[in-house]
Amino acid sequence: MTQKKLDEIKAAGENWRAKRSKLKDRDARFETVSALPVNDIYTPEDLGAFDYMKDLGFPGEYPYTRGVQSNMYRGRLWTMRQFAGFGTASESNERYKFLLARGQTGLSVAFDMPTIMGYDSDHPRSLGEVGRVGVAIDSLADMETLFDGIPLDKVSTSMTTNAPASILWCMYLATGEKQGVPSDKLTGTIQNDILKEYIAQKSWIFPPHPSMRLITDIFAYANKHVPKWNSVSISGYHIREAGSTAVQELAFTLADGFAYVEAGIEAGLNVDDFAPRLSFFFNSHIDFFEEIAKYRAARRIWARRMKEKYGAKNPKSWMLRFHTQTAGCSLTAQQPENNIVRTAYEAMAAVLGGTQSLHTNSMDEVLALPTEKSVQIALRTQQIIAYETGAANVIDPLAGSYFVEALTDQMEAEAEKYFEEIERRGGVLAAIDQNYFQQEIADAAYQYQRAIDKKERYQVGVNEFVDTSEELDIDLLTIDPEIERKQVESVQKLRRERDNNKVQDTLDRLRVAARGSENMIPCILECVRAYTTQGEIVQALREIFGEYKEKPTF
Amino acid sequence: MARKIRVLVAKPGLDGHDRGARVIARGLRDAGMEVVYTGLHQTPEQIVEAAIQEDVDVVGLSILSGAHMTLFPRIYDLLKENGAEDIMVMGGGTIPEADVKALIEGGWAAQIFTPGATLESIVDWINTNVNLN
């Protein structure tokens, strides 16, 4: 745009503002859900030194602001991937088959808390938690059941496991072997993002250094043997759910990503040998434009840093590919049917932001695990976006919007400020140790809750449009307490019947590897092939690595 | 001058969802109570020991793992075994209405707040129900 045109716009804008300022606005706070103030209008003036080729470029091309594939959803729609799992492996197996039969295109495994924390189902700490929030997996035998009748060369599977990710991943690889699928044909993702566990999700086992070593061991092993696997899903989702703002989600997640890149390089790997398999996982909260700007900024920041700072040469290392889940924390227990609507807007933002895969929450997830009916509505929500709304026809359709571009720039600039602060504190691990992220997130969460309580921010059905006569009339999924007993019995039976000498041998071999510096993955794979349980493997490593302890603050 | 109400905010179970616990802990402190927060992954035994040691009036359990029907009764029983049944047990989290009813009617919890409850309602409830004598 010429300076003359800009001056014209400026003059007209000033005129307009003089008239407009006489009008009285509604009594409301005009800001995003992250408390970022927004203007009433955006014009070319807000784009500053906007440079199309430098800031946006074309889809599938550096800096990927407009998307990572050149044809985006015209080539292939995003993967519709509903996170699911509960009870025993055979019950979850049925739910997966139900979802695949209804057009879901990828699996996403939710494990129960004992499995996430590395305890077997019969450990005293597992009492009451077996199969509650996900599926209980104690050994390879359970993993085999989980994917019974589901050919692993035909589906891609995402597994939400972090501290013991190496073990569950090895169980998956071994299940592939049993099905006759070689590991280089397996596709999927393990979350494997321990940094956000210390920061937000808080499901840790080992201290940071051995945890980072397990992760770089996975990078190296995946590069050689499981090349189509996403070896980490660097997650902002949990950071946001813990109460962060959109900018904090963006900045802390990317900072974690850079920390993994640096750890890989320090472990002697070439950046282009593992960076193409790094993937991301973001939240989609209720503030539509802020979320879209966040995804676009994330791609641009990642590409620039990977190329310029870390010297990656492979364009695949520059591309930020991500999964999205709609925001559980935006849902309300009151009038739960309204959650269908919230989720639909959030899903639309993820699609307009160019997500590679998507989970839509079910309306009842604030109350319990979802029923089949509510999961089906959630999946249908994605199918309606994909097949009816036209949103998948045009690539990055909001590009060029003065508002969206200005917000994208603002997100990037704010994230850069956080990167500086994290660096000033000595990096991500040091900042975790200083409780920095945890405190920033807790502050944001508290301010958000205060704003709701004081009605400075509205939640329909919670603090406004409240229905006091409301009685919940949706069915909830209940978990039969019998499941825990059955699972405990089954792991104890396994321990009686397997070759226990072999189990001890594989554990001894793993201990040697863990004390030394060799890659631990082949040893873990040997353990799981011998039906050593997850709890036994974790215990062996815990004795060597110790346990992480958080300083509880609020 | 009346002494302050003492509250132990506790996270039993294996999950790490501490957003609620930390928001409540800060809210109760801002409302003038003395608050101790246990941190994550506490066993019922650890929670009861902390409650007795800290001499609290109220234990607030935050549970989002679905294990509430095991954990509330276990903690209540342990308090009783240790002669500390005067400590009131309340809680919050992802707890279905039917279970809320069962826990309150069974006497295992004095009150349970579910998503959407305001900090004020929780503060008011504690102020009304805790006897400082």
| pLDDT tens-digit map of A476-511 | 888 788 999 999 999 999 999 999 999 999 999 999
Judge whether A449 is closer than 8 Å to chain B, CB to CB.
yes
Residue B101 domain-assigned?
Answer: yes
Between CA A487 and CA A480 the distance in angstroms is: 12
Candidates 3.20.20.240, 3.30.70.1450, 3.90.550.10, 3.30.1330.10; CATH matching A60-453:
3.20.20.240
Q: Is the pLDDT of residue B45 over 70?
A: yes
The string of DSSP codes covering B12-44 is: BSS----HHHHHHHHHHHHTT-EEEE--SSB-H
Q: Quote the crossing angle between the two packed helices A208-225 and A246-266, to the nearest 10°.
A: 70
Tokens (6 digits) for A337: 């049917």
Q: Which residues of chain A have pLDDT under 70?
A: 470
Q: Quick one: three-class SS letters along A392-403?
A: CCCCCCCCCCHH
- pLDDT tens digits, one per residue of B103-116: 999 999 999 998 88
Q: What is the CATH number of the domain that holds B31?
A: 3.40.50.280
For A302-306, which contacts have Cβ atoms below 8 Å and span 24 or more sequence positions? A302/A64, A302/A254, A302/A257, A303/A62, A303/A63, A303/A64, A304/A63, A305/A254, A305/A258, A306/A261, A306/A271, A306/A275
Mutate one of B19, B63, B99 to test the A interface: name it (highest A CB count within 10 A): B19
Query: What per-residue confidence (pLDDT) applies to A73?
Result: 98
In one letter, which amino acid is A475?
A: D
- pLDDT tens digits, one per residue of A54-94: 999 999 999 999 999 999 999 999 999 988 888 999 999 99
DSSP A460: B
Report CB contact under 8 Å: A479, B66. Answer: yes
Q: Which residue intervals of A234-314 are DSSP H helices?
A: 237-241, 246-266, 271-274, 288-304
Q: Which residues fall within 8 angstroms of residue A250, CB to CB, at 6 or more apart? A: A236, A294, A297, A298, A301, A411, A415
Query: What per-residue confidence (pLDDT) applies to A106?
Result: 86
Dihedrals φ, ψ of A87, to 5°? Answer: 65, -140
Between CA A243 and CA A201 the distance in angstroms is: 11
**What is the domain extent for residue B14?**
6-129
Strand ranges across the sheet with A187-190: A83-84, A107-109, A156-159, A187-190, A229-230
Report CB contact under 8 Å: B97, A472. Answer: yes
Mean pLDDT over the full length of chain B: 93
Residue B80 domain-assigned?
Answer: yes
The string of DSSP codes covering A134-166 is: SB---SHHHHHHHTTT--TTT-EEEE---TTHH
- pLDDT level of residue B133 (50, 70, 90 thresholds): low
Dihedrals φ, ψ of B94, to 5°? Answer: -85, 85
Q: Which residues pair with A84 in a beta bridge?
A: A109
A334 close to A292: Cβ distance less than 8 angstroms: no
Query: What per-residue confidence (pLDDT) applies to B1?
Result: 60
Name the burial class of residue A257, with classes exposed (0-12), middle (13-18) and buried (19+) by CB atoms within 10 angstroms of its CB. buried
Residue A63 preceded by cis peptide, ω within 30: yes
Q: Checking DSSP bridges between strand A278-284 and strand A357-359, what pairing results, if any? A: unpaired
Report CB contact under 8 Å: B67, A554. Answer: no
Dihedrals φ, ψ of A229, to 5°? Answer: -95, 140
Judge whether A268 is closer than 8 Å to chain B, CB to CB.
no
User: Cα dist. A448→A34, A245, A286 in Å?
Assistant: 8, 9, 14
Report CB contact under 8 Å: B43, A125. Answer: yes
Between CA B103 and CA B68 the distance in angstroms is: 9
Between CA B105 and CA B20 the distance in angstroms is: 24
Structural domain total, chain B:
1
Between CA A49 and CA A475 the distance in angstroms is: 54
What residue segments make up the domains of chain A, in order of their start? 60-453
A342 close to A63: Cβ distance less than 8 angstroms: no
Q: Is the pLDDT of residue B29 over 80?
A: yes
Report CB contact under 8 Å: B94, A366. Answer: yes
- Measured from the Cβ of residue A483, the count of other Cβ atoms closer than 10 Å reads 20
Judge whether A126 is closer than 8 Å to chain B, CB to CB.
yes
Judge whether B13 is closer than 8 Å to chain A, CB to CB.
yes
Residue B1 domain-assigned?
Answer: no
